[in-house]
Amino acid sequence: MNPAYSRSNLGIHFLFAAFVVLGFIFIWIGYFTKQKFARNAKFRICHILVMGIVLCESLIGLICPKSGLHAENGL
């Protein structure tokens, strides 16, 4: 496998996961501290769409590309 592809795939995977996890945390923090970003419709819609993508992938049996690479390599 091309090392550049592997690095870019890892970077995209990391950013995707970080957006889901940190977005959830920031929404809760913003809610309790009454910050405007927690009520930003564009941010919340993007966050729910990304979580929906993960949900749909799991429902149809797709696995994360990084998990597939780990399974192939016995990691």
Residue 50's SS3 state is helix
39 within 8 A of 29, measured Cβ to Cβ: no
- Site of tokens 């990304």: 50
Q: Which two tokens stand for residue 56?
A: 């749909």
Going by the DSSP 8-state scheme, the letter that residue 74 receives in this structure is T
Predicted local distance difference test score (pLDDT) of residue 71: 60
pLDDT tens profile 16-75: 889 999 999 999 999 999 988 888 999 999 999 999 988 898 899 877 666 666 566 655
pTM for the full model?
Answer: 0.69
